[in-house]
Structure 1
Amino acid sequence: MSIVYRGAGPGDMERISGLMTRAMPRDVVSAERLGRNLLLEPNHDPRGLIIAEHPEDGVIGAAYGTCAERGVPALPTSGYMTLACVDPGHRRRGIGRALFERVRDHLAERGATSLTVAGYPQAYFWPGVDAEEHPEGIAFLEACGLAPSGMAAAMSLDLDAWSISDSVRDLVRTRRADGFRFGPATVEDLPEVIAFASNRLAPDWGEVLREAALRDPAAVRRVVVARDPHGAVAGLATYGAYGDTFERFGPFGVDETRRGTGLGRILLSLTLMQMRSEAAHGAWFLWTGEKSPAGHLYASTGFTVSRRFTVMRTDLHTPQSAKAPRNEDQR
């Protein structure tokens, strides 16, 4: 029976969510979140969402590709595949390859010169592929010409078993005596905090903070700010900013001129305390360098690695669709 490859229609977010429960149950995503990260992301093009449908079994595969043409940061030649899965009962029949080729060609037609899985700044589900959970996914992508280009560690902390250390309490007292101030942000702080995040930490983080504050007034006070003796923002940490759960930690960073002073350790611990005060039982995030200074800071505070993701990437050249016509039985 012919597999039909089509775009999205009514009810497909529920169908894709159901597909994911069969294909990747550890990574299942709700229909609401799929809609937010696929249909409502700032660079959405309907042609980038490809669904494989079986005449009897329904939706058996899906993939999504997009380019960071607009938004912060704007990376118009960078293409991303943020979702790809095939029903276990229909694997090894060329469906995954057909989905991938359609995504690849779509991105090349939009002007992308690279394809990365996943890590799309504006709306990603995972920073890459969990090689332990999905070894067949890594092998498939390698067969499609992608190669590892980096690693990302997801980490988590049991807040029920955590408490701020005496050494951090002492460090807070020392830095306060030096003139530093720490505390939750107010709405009046936000313009300066957003500018600091965008200009001193990461281009997209200011937008994350702004959108969080517009979505939920509680997000304002969930930004913990460090100010230096002159009153300037020197660092920040927050949680719940991405809108999925308030136990998700980040963004978090300290101005590079103030690193090595313990401000990061203070902000991290004070933010975890504030999360616990809101009855959070855990803190987690998806992406850091395990061997980076931030990774060491998290580990020394009590975070442990929960998953490791491999970032996969390839260069894009002439779209495959320009080289040869497709079999119309798989349109």
Structure 2
Amino acid sequence: MYRSFRNGDENAIIDLWNKTMQRDPITKQRFFKQVLLDANFDPEGLIVAEQDGELIGAIYALTRKLPMAGIELERDTAWITFFMVDPENGRQGIVHGLMEQAEQYAKQQGAVQILFSSYAPNYFLPGIDETAYPAAYTFLLKEGYRRQSSPVAMHRDLLDYSYTPAVSELKKQREAEGYSFGPASHGDFPELIRFANEHFNPDWGRAIREGILQGLDPEQVLAAKNGDRIVGFAMFGGYEGIRERFGPFGVDEHEKGKGLGKILLHDTLHAMKQRTIQGAWFLWTSETSSAGHLYLKHGFKTYRQFHVMVKELVH
């Protein structure tokens, strides 16, 4: 039997999650914040499979009810951020039935495409990890999903990190030209959030604002300026209060080629090392992008790859 979420299901969903997705276990508090408290949560989109009174599967589909700053409702798009089925019931067509229910819900909301699982702000992973969950990846392909992109997660050990003389010299050169680097002041934040929204992604502006509102130390947000104008920024610890999580991070496209990203990257890693943080990691970049090349050149290593999957819905 398939039905929508009811109060109390969360405990069984979390237990099943930790049983089936052991590479990515979850706590009750994280599920509460990122699913049940999500501004776009609709219990009709959290669908469970039940057998003899026991929850044996779940899938979560959603559409935007509230826009993010700079983004409209994206009425043509739905997202799936997780699905699971008890391994003991894995070959009975249950997960296929869950997917049919989720896609039907998405179509009822007006979506013409559905993605797994790049929903912002409350995604758990950027997409499906084929290495960790090969059966789930194969299932998505059989269900008609195609790979849209393959972002990677990277990590850098900070135990051996030190700020290099070459970066120090580059920073002095740029400062002599009128650039400045350092923690964002309180008065910088309105412009900084606008800069992140307009030059990159509204989710980045949201991450800055919500991080500060949730107690993030403003000194964990670093800004690069050309005179009084913000031209780049980097931060850490802004997502879910995880100190080791680096980003977001970006430099104005018109300022590229001056090493500003390199300076911001090392200033941020140095600030993390000052706080005895032993590693820096993030979930999403492209290895072939300019940012990806910068990370790889400065000690980051890819430790995981995901596939963002998309399917066109036939109404």
> Which TM-score bucket, shorter chain as reference?
over 0.9
Runs of 4+ in 1 over 6 A off after TM superposition: none
Q: Distance in 1 between matches of 2:23 and 2:266?
A: 29
3-state SS of 1:76 partner: coil
* Distance (whole Å) between structure 2 residues aligned to residue 157 and residue 12 of structure 1: 38
| Match 1:267 to one of 264, 272, 275 | 264
Q: Is the 8 A contact 1:201 1:254 kept in 2?
A: no
> In structure 1, how many angstroms separate the alpha carbons of the residues matched to 2:308 and 2:252?
27
Structure 1 equivalent of residue 287 of structure 2: 290
* Structure 1 residue aligned with 2:130: 131
**Residue equivalent to 2:171:** 172
Identify the residue that residue 225 of structure 1 maps to in structure 2: 223
CA contact (8 A) 2:129 2:304 kept: yes
Report what 1:254 is aligned to. 251
Q: Structure 1 residues 298-307 or 237-246, which shifts more?
A: 237-246
The residue that corresponds to 1:206 in the other structure is 205
Match of 1:21 among 10, 18, 21: 18
Q: Matched residues in 2 for 1:289 and 1:69: separation?
A: 29
Task: Give distance in 2, aligned partners of 1:43 and 1:240.
Answer: 24
Give the C-alpha shift of residue 210 in structure 1: 0.8
- Aligned residue number for residue 190 of structure 1: 189
Q: For 1:236, what is the secondary structure of its paired residue? A: strand
Pick aligned residue for 1:276 from 258, 273, 276:
273
TM-score, structure 1 length as denominator? 0.91
Structure 1 runs not aligned, ≥5 long = 319-331
Secondary structure at the aligned position of 1:25 is classed as coil
How far residue 217 of structure 1 moved from its aligned partner, in angstroms, is: 4.4
Query: Whole-Å Cα distance in 2 between the matches of residues 132 and 85 of structure 1?
Result: 16
Q: How does 1:71-82 map to 2 (within 5 A)?
A: 71-72=67-68, 73-74=71-72, 75-82=74-81
Work out whether 1:300 is the aligned partner of 2:301. no
After superposition, give the CA deviation of every residue in 1:156-184 in whole Å (9 maximum; x if it has no partner): 11111222222111111111111111111
The TM-score with structure 2 as length reference comes to 0.95
Residues of 1 paired with 2:298 and 2:147: CA distance?
Answer: 29
2:180 maps to amino acid = R
Conserved? CA contact 1:237–1:271, under 8 Å: yes
**How far is 1:237 from its partner?**
0.2
8 Å contact 1:23–1:87 — kept in the other structure?
yes
Query: Which residue in the other structure is 1:55 paired with?
Result: 52
Distance 1:135 1:182 in 2: 44
Alpha carbons 2:14, 2:26 under 8 Å: kept? yes
Q: Could you tell me which residue of structure 2 aligns to residue 70 of structure 1?
A: 66
Q: How many residues align?
A: 312
Q: How does 1:33-44 map to 2 (within 5 A)?
A: 33-44=30-41
Say which SS state the counterpart of residue 154 (structure 2) adopts: strand
Aligned partner (choices 2, 6, 9) of residue 5 of structure 1: 2
- Hey, what's the Cα distance between the residues in 2 that align with 1:53 and 1:113? 28
What is the DSSP-based 3-state SS (H/G/I as helix, E as strand, rest coil) of the residue aligned with 1:27? coil
For 1:26 and 1:34, the matched residues in 2 are separated by 16
Q: Name the structure 1 match of 2:110.
A: 111
Q: Distance in 1 between matches of 2:241 and 2:125?
A: 13
Alignment counterpart, residue 43 of structure 2, candidates 46, 56, 63: 46
Give CA-to-partner distance per residue, 1:42-101, whole Å, 9 cap, x none.
211110001122326x32211101113422233221111001111111101111011111
Q: 2:27 aligns with which of 19, 25, 30?
A: 30
CA distance in 2, matches of 1:207, 1:30: 23
Distance 1:59 1:276 in 2: 45
The match for 1:236 is 233
Residue type of the alignment partner of 2:281: W
Structure 2 counterpart of 1:140, which letter?
F
Deviations along 1:189-248, one digit per CA (max 9) or x if unpaired, are 111111111112212211211111111142x221100001x2100100001111241211
How much is the aligned-residue C-alpha RMSD, in angstroms?
1.3
Say whether the 8 Å CA contact 1:82–1:118 is kept in structure 2.
yes
Mean CA deviation greater in 106-115 or 179-188: 179-188
Determine the C-alpha separation between the residues in 1 that align with 2:280 and 2:51.
40
Identity level (%): 38
Q: Aligned partner of 2:20: which letter?
A: A
* CA positional deviation for 1:275: 1.1
Q: Distance in 2 between matches of 1:247 and 1:88?
A: 33
Could you tell me which residue of structure 2 aligns to residue 157 of structure 1? 156
- Could you tell me which residue of structure 2 aligns to residue 325 of structure 1? none
Deviation of 1:24 after TM superposition, in Å, equals 1.1
Partners of 2:86 and 2:312 in 1: CA distance: 28
Measure the CA separation in 1 of the matches of 2:91 and 2:167: 54
Report if the CA contact (8 A) 2:216-2:238 is conserved.
no
